[in-house]
Copies of this chain bind each other. A is one copy, B any other.
């Protein structure tokens, strides 16, 4: 018999810019699903509005206030910046976006997962029709590396000024993310065996059924690259059924454009992963359809943070012009995570993904308002369920 969690406590953080509208559209769709029971509590932070009233993007005891939630669902953060309407409330991007890094690091959400599967009807920038068969998953290290925020500026503003940034990679941090990538590859292989995921397109050309690619810049950023390469080889030995390859970050970016269908799971450091996931998003139909999950795969009691890869798009905020696909698919990623222990959530994740895909296949990405798309997806879910 199925064991469902009675209900899931979700902290909803609409945030800035288009965040509130894509979140509202997504709530419509979530309400149309048969389950699981989600208790959605909307928080006023992190947000620029919160900053205006409190002088910071999040309350100082954000950690305490998040205790008790099972998952966090965030819309978007971001500052329009000085080039936009000067009347708008705005902050430097280092302040505006800081909560993202604070939540990821503060909660030790060390794995960031960003899949790229092109959606029919969404923009496809590549001309090679094989790109439509792309089905890759970037596993990004989310807690250390280039993002440790250590360094400083010596003699700032003077001719002898020197800015330093330290990158720190621990073996423990490297090993856990690489192992997680292999676990995900194994799961994807299993899904393929069960017919739940399309076979690897590249397999027709002799590629393996499952593969993990590790990305470094070991020919120029040597110590980090060596550590990653060595740990990768050690962990790979535990997964003999999974093929492995190595790419340098520059060549990997190139191949994401020239032959993305060759990749299965890709594991990369914080900065490399940041770059690769933006590229992956473009391949899959643009930032408008790219979901992302920040998790602690070793500890389900830590609430994961689900957020679209896109920013707050201040230029169209409030105009009902944003497409909520990325937010909808981010909510589906949350349901997928819940689905690891809750079968109702697992089925709802598939339903929501299917409704979004069908909606975009039928209507494309333009021409409708954000709320309208939310209602249409909700209606499609209800009809399919009836």
Contact = CB atoms under 8 A, between A and B. Distances in A.
Interface of A: 93-94, 96-97, 101, 123-128, 146-147, 149, 151-153, 156-172, 217-227, 230, 248-251, 253-254, 257-258, 270-271, 274-275, 277-279, 281-283, 286-287
Number of this chain's copies in the assembly equals 2
Determine which residue in A160, A171, A224 has the highest number of CB atoms from chain B within 10 A of its CB, and name it: A171
Nearest to A128: B125
B287 A149 contact: no
A275 B274 contact: no
B250 A274 contact: yes
A166 to B, nearest CB: 6
Contacts of A281: 254
A379 to B, nearest CB: 31
Given A250-B278, A253-B275, A224 B126 contact: no
A254 B278 contact: yes
A226 B153 CA distance: 9
Contacts of A123: 258
A101 B219 CA distance: 10
B151 A223 contact: yes
Nearest to A146: B221
Nearest to A167: B165
B146 A158 contact: no
A18 to B, nearest CB: 16
Given A219-B94, A223-B165, A171 B151 contact: no
A93 B125 contact: no
A253 B257 CA distance: 11
Given A153-B226, A250-B278, A166 B166 contact: yes
Most buried by B among A123, A124, A258, A287: A258
Nearest to A260: B125
Nearest to A149: B222
A159 to B, nearest CB: 6
A163 B258 contact: no
B223 A153 contact: yes
B162 A171 contact: yes
Given A97-B219, A125-B257, A257-B282, A166 B164 contact: yes
A253 B124 CA distance: 16
